[in-house]
Chains A and B, each alone.
Chain A
Amino acid sequence: MDELSPPQSTGSSPRNFSGKAFAEPVIQNAVMALCVILVMAPVAPLVLQAFSPVPLYAWRGGLTLGNFQNLFTLPEISDLAGNTLLFCAISITFSIVFGVALAIIVARTDIPARKLLTNILLWPIFVSPLVIGFGAILTYGPTGYVTSLFTHATGIANPWNIYSLTGLSLISGLSMAPMTILYCLSSAQQQDPRLEQAARVAGASPFRTMRRITLPMMRPALIFSFAMNIVAALEMFAIPLLLGGPSGIRLLTTFIYDKGFESGRPDYGLVSAASLILLVLVALLVLLQTFLLRSSHRFLSVGPKGGRMDVMGLGAWKWGVFAATLLYALFGIVAIVFGLFLRSFVLVLSPYISPLSVLTLKNYHDIWLDPTYRHAISNTVMLAIGGAFAGVVVTGAIALVAQRSNYRLRRVLDMMVQLPRAVPGLIVSLGVFYAVIFIPGLSLLSGTLWVLGLAYIVRHLPAGYGIIAPALLQVTKDFDRAANVAGARWSTTMRRIVAPILKPALLSCFTLLMILFFKEYAAAIFLYRPGNEVISMAMLNAWVPGYTGVVASLAVIQIALTTLLLVIFTRLFGVRLNG
């Protein structure tokens, strides 16, 4: 290299666009507007309807508090509040007690088959409460196979009644427990085992250590799961509908559903007023949880990096604890899924007839022959894949503007996108339903998959954002700066540098949204019309006239497809879903 001619000539004619690249604000404003529309579309019409004296389509201005007056003077209002409160207390207690205990057991003790048990215990996360509700009826209902076997063995008729407030609360608690386990699991796993060892060396027994060291150290996770459990309980809709409906037990959510579908002319004002109360309750809780977590995250102990997890020896208790965990997994999860499988392959399920003698594929054949069911399945798959794709694009764009630009409203955007966390699925459904009626032009979407896709995306926007935003925080901003200084503008930097680096997170987000969309039912409930049915809606519709076999088969198909998609994405694309 005798002729040293550094590559320097390109700079000699500086690109003389001395001004701002004006495409950027246009894109950023568009993303902001999209987010506002998505978040506000379901909420704004609902709020307006709650204060409107007439249905929205006939609204000509004028506000009233009459809807709330009507609501609070209803004779059943005190029952409604009492039921909801009791329901929350029982289901949350069940979910927290079993969830926390199981999380600690599988994360921190030396019982055998911990990995397998963890997978089984977490698995119901991928299944909708609707499916769990059906499974519970087939298993523990008055004619459920476990109930029958129990009666057969002990001679006690009607040993329990799940069509009661306690029954439906316990089944709901069962469906909420996996969420508690998930939130507490990583917290339990991340703890520094030396803290516990120190307590043991100081002379504490394993249980004392757990009570005085392990549990207090998990406080942030406990607060978080407690708040999320209240939200989940307030939102819980499928199980109260299935189990409370026949016996006339109504909670806030099922009340909204019943009133919304009341024959003749539903009282929109009353429904909206009740929905608004639910919305405010959930929003307050989400706010409280955010506030509590902000002040408590600093005492999260992050364990030694890559260090070997030390488990706690339970000694003589080991096999007892193992048996208890196994029993929970068997009766709380395996039996229910097995009930669905069994029922889907037989004509009738009864202790007096051997299932082998009535073995059939007729249920699946019925589904195959009925275009409505075929439609429901293909619609669900399309909605899950297409909707998740759209969802990733929307959340990705929002995350990039909110976290990686100097857009002046980026903080507002960051908060805005998280708002739907406070909106229960049922309310999203109702709100989008009103929006379709109220906003001119949107009625074109009525009864299509698009309107369902819209509701699903709104409902799960925060979940998707919750995966992309933290991943984005891990990507150093030096990458953007380097591209910027090298001459790339914001949109180029996002498209060519940040988005490709973010690919694993985007894939995780896609997988999560796909699974959520697959199991979603509440957001679809008011938007369902013949033609845009999804599996969840088809199950509910088949349940009413008592096509139990078809319901069980649809549930099995939903479970199988979800599992298949999950396997494809976790194995083939190496997607990891942590939370």
Chain B
Amino acid sequence: MADVLIENLCRKIGPLTILRDVSLSVGEGEFITLLGPSGCGKSTTLNALAGLDRPTSGRIAVGGRVLYDDKAGVFIEPQFRDLGMMFQSYALWPHMTVHQNLAFPLEIRKITGVAARSKIVEALNLVDMEKYAGRYPGELSGGQQQRVALARTLVYGPRLMLLDEPLSNLDAKLRDKARDWLRDLQRRTGVTTIYVTHDQTEALALSDRIVVMESGEIVQVGAPSEIYKTPATAFVADFVGANNIFEAKITGYSRDAATLVLADGVILKACVPSAHTVGSAAKAAIRPEQIIVLNDGASLQGDNIFEVQALGETYQGARHVLYFNLGGVKFSAERQEPIAPGQTFRVRLPSEAIRVFAHH
């Protein structure tokens, strides 16, 4: 098991910068998720770790062993890195049985015969696939293939496991199951894991820590609850969980509270933990589930109370998502009961739930 150290990693292709000064430290046995939209550089980071892509500059060390260092001119080829990687496509070799797929990496490490067989059985047991050792990948379902692929990355005991969107090829129901199972497996084996996904639900459920990336840069690193509750930027707030985002201007600022003015003159109070300048433009964000919605006429205490007309609703089974217009922005809130068309509501946007981000 190993700790991973990435320092100032850069990757440029021609004039394009894919990675910009990415630095990250991963502890032993930790489950880290790189989260971000497509093109944010998360897969490039993973490929750089695996050695499938050569960065432009920076340094990567796993378990104290330097795998890449541009200054020292070190670049270890993937086959010598001793890492495990699971691909989005699983990349199970179609001409080999499950057993042969697992035996191949062992054979390269000169482990054959009884020793290899026991390791293969052990790895297949771990993923509950021991009955399928004689099958070819084409004879397995998507979920089974995913398990075999995981067993193949684990069978030779890699120092680090890299997972590239391993659940994206499964259907929604199976994905939920596989997610819990994957988390459980990682806890049992304790192998340091770096997981790449664009799905925030997966990231929140699986990770010890989440690394949110945007256009080749790390924007926030933190525990899932930290990322969800205190996003560092408007981008993170928007990407992780649903969020209503308002363009605003800061007109007043005192101690921990700020006064914001939205586009059509609506005034909003917010508790702001960090300093902002009066008069500057900002973004204000609030999660739909934190907005309190009551029928018109009901009594409602506190700040930021507005009377609004419902524009429409989406039924999502457990709840109804309502749409309103406030400050020139369509925003959403949740409640249990359905609405009548054109119904008017009283809504409250608790000032402690509003996060304010300065414009860059």
A residues touching B (Cβ–Cβ < 8 Å)? 1, 4-12, 14-15, 17-18, 20-21, 476, 478-479, 481-489, 492, 496-497, 500-501, 503
Given contacts A485-B85, A486-B104, A487-B108, contact A7 B123 (CB under 8 A): yes
Which residues from B are CB-within-8-Å of A489?
77, 79
Looking at chain B, what size class is its interface with the partner chain?
A: 35 or more
Which residue of A is nearest B157, CB measured?
A8
B82 touches A11 (CB 8 A): yes
Which residues from A are CB-within-8-Å of B189?
4, 6, 8
Which 4 A-B residue pairings sit nearest by Cβ, starting from the closest?
A8-B157, A478-B91, A486-B105, A482-B91
**Given A15-B109, A486-B79, 11 more contacts at CB 8 Å?**
A7-B123, A10-B157, A14-B82, A18-B80, A21-B77, A481-B52, A484-B52, A486-B156, A487-B108, A488-B104, A497-B93
Which residues from A are CB-within-8-Å of B94?
501
* Bound form: Cα–Cα A3–B91 in Å: 30
Task: List 10 A-B residue pairs with CB atoms under 8 Å apart, sorted by A's residue number.
Answer: A6-B154, A6-B157, A478-B89, A481-B91, A482-B85, A484-B52, A485-B79, A486-B152, A488-B104, A492-B108
Shortest distance from the beta carbon of A350 to any chain B beta carbon, whole Å: 60
B125 touches A1 (CB 8 A): yes
* Bound form: Cα–Cα A476–B80 in Å: 22
Partner of A501, one of B1, B95, B191: B95
Number of A-B residue pairs, CB cutoff 8 Å, is: 117
B126, CB-defined interface residue at 8 Å: yes
* Bound form: Cα–Cα A20–B111 in Å: 22
Which residues from A are CB-within-8-Å of B275?
none
Given contacts A6-B126, A11-B157, contact A485 B104 (CB under 8 A): no
Partner of A11, one of B87, B88, B156, B162: B156
A478 touches B156 (CB 8 A): no
Interface residues of B in 118-169 (CB under 8 A from A): 119, 122-123, 125-126, 152-159, 162
Which residues from A are CB-within-8-Å of B119?
7, 10
A21 touches B91 (CB 8 A): no
B152 touches A9 (CB 8 A): no
Q: Most chain-A Cβ atoms within 10 A of its Cβ — which of B79, B87, B105, B153?
A: B79
Which residues from A are CB-within-8-Å of B93?
479, 482-483, 497, 501
* Bound form: Cα–Cα A4–B80 in Å: 27
Which residue of A is nearest B108, CB measured?
A487
B65 touches A11 (CB 8 A): no
Given contacts A1-B125, A17-B80, A18-B80, contact A11 B159 (CB under 8 A): yes
A10 touches B109 (CB 8 A): yes
B346, CB-defined interface residue at 8 Å: no
B83, CB-defined interface residue at 8 Å: yes
B residues touching A (Cβ–Cβ < 8 Å)? 1, 50-52, 65, 74, 76-85, 87-91, 93-95, 104-106, 108-109, 111, 119, 122-123, 125-126, 152-159, 162, 188-191
* Bound form: Cα–Cα A458–B196 in Å: 47
Which residues from B are CB-within-8-Å of A492?
108
Partner of B91, one of A4, A6, A8, A479: A479
A18 touches B76 (CB 8 A): yes
Q: Most chain-B Cβ atoms within 10 A of its Cβ — which of A6, A12, A483, A484?
A: A6
* Bound form: Cα–Cα A394–B29 in Å: 48
* Bound form: Cα–Cα A5–B157 in Å: 10
Shortest distance from the beta carbon of A479 to any chain B beta carbon, whole Å: 5
Shortest distance from the beta carbon of A409 to any chain B beta carbon, whole Å: 18
Which residues from A are CB-within-8-Å of B87?
478, 481-482
Which residue of B is nearest A486, CB measured?
B105
Shortest distance from the beta carbon of A62 to any chain B beta carbon, whole Å: 47
Which residue of B is nearest A12, CB measured?
B157
Given contacts A4-B189, A10-B157, A478-B89, contact A486 B95 (CB under 8 A): no
* Bound form: Cα–Cα A481–B79 in Å: 9
Which residues from B are CB-within-8-Å of A8?
1, 157, 189, 191
B79 touches A21 (CB 8 A): yes
* Bound form: Cα–Cα A489–B78 in Å: 8
B156 touches A487 (CB 8 A): yes
Partner of B155, one of A7, A479, A500, A501: A7
Which residues from B are CB-within-8-Å of A1?
125
Which residue of B is nearest A11, CB measured?
B157
* Bound form: Cα–Cα A538–B165 in Å: 63
Given contacts A15-B109, A481-B52, A485-B78, contact A6 B188 (CB under 8 A): yes
Partner of B109, one of A476, A482, A487, A503: A487
B83 touches A7 (CB 8 A): no
* Bound form: Cα–Cα A501–B76 in Å: 28
Which residues from B are CB-within-8-Å of A15?
80, 82, 109
Shortest distance from the beta carbon of B140 to any chain A beta carbon, whole Å: 16
A7 touches B52 (CB 8 A): no
Shortest distance from the beta carbon of A7 to any chain B beta carbon, whole Å: 5
Which residue of A is nearest B47, CB measured?
A481
Which residues from A are CB-within-8-Å of B190?
6
A487 touches B52 (CB 8 A): no
* Bound form: Cα–Cα A1–B122 in Å: 10
Which residue of A is nearest B78, CB measured?
A484
Shortest distance from the beta carbon of A474 to any chain B beta carbon, whole Å: 12
* Bound form: Cα–Cα A17–B106 in Å: 17
A485 touches B108 (CB 8 A): no
Given contacts A15-B82, A15-B109, contact A10 B89 (CB under 8 A): no
* Bound form: Cα–Cα A482–B91 in Å: 6
* Bound form: Cα–Cα A422–B188 in Å: 62
Q: Most chain-B Cβ atoms within 10 A of its Cβ — which of A18, A478, A487?
A: A487
B156 touches A7 (CB 8 A): yes
Which residues from A are CB-within-8-Å of B108?
486-488, 492
Which residues from B are CB-within-8-Å of A478?
87-91
* Bound form: Cα–Cα A18–B80 in Å: 7
Shortest distance from the beta carbon of A445 to any chain B beta carbon, whole Å: 38
Shortest distance from the beta carbon of A503 to any chain B beta carbon, whole Å: 8
* Bound form: Cα–Cα A478–B153 in Å: 14
Which residue of A is nearest B158, CB measured?
A11
Shortest distance from the beta carbon of A502 to any chain B beta carbon, whole Å: 10
* Bound form: Cα–Cα A551–B152 in Å: 61
Q: Most chain-B Cβ atoms within 10 A of its Cβ — which of A5, A7, A11, A496?
A: A7
A14 touches B105 (CB 8 A): no
* Bound form: Cα–Cα A20–B153 in Å: 23
Which residues from B are CB-within-8-Å of A17?
80
Q: Most chain-A Cβ atoms within 10 A of its Cβ — which of B76, B82, B156, B162?
A: B82
* Bound form: Cα–Cα A321–B189 in Å: 72
Q: Most chain-A Cβ atoms within 10 A of its Cβ — which of B78, B91, B126, B153?
A: B91
Which residues from B are CB-within-8-Å of A12?
157
Which residues from B are CB-within-8-Å of A486?
79, 84, 104-105, 108, 152-153, 156
Which residues from A are CB-within-8-Å of B154?
6-7
